[in-house]
Amino acid sequence: MPGWLAKQIVDGLNEFSDAVERDQLDPKRFTSRTVVLNVKPSKYSAAMVRATRQLLDASQAVFAQFLGVSVKTVRSWEQGVSTPKDIAARFLDEIRQNPEYWRGRMRESFALKVN
């Protein structure tokens, strides 16, 4: 980073800090933006979980490892005994959005274990 740019950034941050301390934030001089992502997780039925796993051509065991959950958890989702928590549902949403990418990522994660 050029020295003049670094100085400009530091000077701007100092100016902002001083304005905050003096409680004199002028909206014409300092702008802020709020970014809101539309990432509310979907609600997953047993059939949707199974269909998502099948998009990756994965067994329950491989799918569970990929998601970082137990096979028992995947099985219970697919049998409708329980539903994925929000974090897992977000991951499933991402898989459904771009299954080719996640199929590739899953394959990259394979490690062949020879006994």
**Mean pLDDT, 10 residues at a time, over the chain (115 residues)?**
86 85 77 82 98 97 96 98 97 97 91 65
**Which pLDDT does position 87 carry in this prediction?**
96
**Which pLDDT does position 113 carry in this prediction?**
62
pTM score of the predicted model: 0.68
Instruction: Give domain limits for the chain.
Output: 1-32, 46-109
**Which pLDDT does position 112 carry in this prediction?**
64
Cα separation of 16 and 25, whole Å?
A: 8
**Which pLDDT does position 33 carry in this prediction?**
76
**Which pLDDT does position 42 carry in this prediction?**
96
Residue range 46-109 forms a domain whose CATH class is mainly alpha
**Which pLDDT does position 43 carry in this prediction?**
97
Neighbour count for residue 7 (Cβ, 10 Å): 10
**Which pLDDT does position 84 carry in this prediction?**
98
Q: How many helices (H) and strands (E) does the chain have?
A: 6, 0
**Which pLDDT does position 19 carry in this prediction?**
83
